[in-house]
């Protein structure tokens, strides 16, 4: 009897836009980490303390990984085929943003301008994200 009940539950068909309620996704998470990167770079550049600077590098790299993580979650879990059809630039934006948070971007750089470029890409993604939430 339990087996039949479980089989009936498994056969139930459901449909949803995303794997969890859409309210759990927000590009602000990536932006907060990117702002942290920029602030950490500024503090690194303003300090002569080698121990402090080493800690700043570790934090900057951790935050860069978190930016990539939050962007990948949006890219793979929130945005669906209809979004990519309506906004064909999305794939390119995510590629550019994750690269700006990676080894060729904020992980390798101590230039606040690189962090600003990352923030600008996140803002472009966020604009599209919020447009999709209005639909």
List, for residues 36-70, the tens digit of each pLDDT value.
999 999 999 999 999 999 999 999 999 999 999 99
Q: Which residues constitute the domain of residue 72?
A: 25-134
DSSP at 104? T
pLDDT of residue 134: 85
127 within some domain? yes
Domains identified in the chain, total number:
1
Residue ranges of the alpha helices (H) in 12-111? 28-46, 50-73, 81-86, 90-100
Here the contacts of 100-104 (C-beta below 8 Å, separation 24 or greater) are 101/34, 101/37, 101/64, 101/65, 101/67, 101/68, 101/71, 102/64, 102/68
> E strand or H helix at 25, and its extent?
none
The domain that contains 81 carries what CATH number? Answer: 1.20.120.400
| More confident: 1 or 128 | 128
Whether residue 11 is contained in a domain is answered as no
- Cα dihedral 78, 82, 83, 87 in deg (nearest 10): 160
Q: Is 14 part of any domain?
A: no
Q: Please check whether residue 1 lies inside any domain of the structure.
A: no
């Amino acid at each position: 009897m339990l087996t039949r009940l479980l089989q009936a539950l498994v056969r139930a068909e459901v449909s949803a836009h995303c794997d969890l309620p859409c309210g759990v996704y927000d590009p602000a998470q990536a932006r907060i980490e990117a702002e942290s990167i920029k602030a950490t770079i500024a503090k690194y550049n303003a300090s002569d303390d080698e121990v402090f600077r080493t800690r700043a590098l570790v934090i900057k790299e951790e935050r860069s990984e978190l930016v990539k993580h939050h962007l990948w979650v949006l890219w793979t879990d929130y945005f669906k085929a209809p979004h990519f059809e309506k906004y064909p630039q999305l794939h390119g934006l995510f590629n550019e943003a994750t690269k700006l948070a990676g080894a060729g971007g904020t992980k390798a750089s101590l230039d606040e301008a690189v962090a600003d470029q990352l923030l600008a890409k996140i803002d472009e993604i966020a604009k599209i994200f919020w447009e999709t939430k209005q639909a």
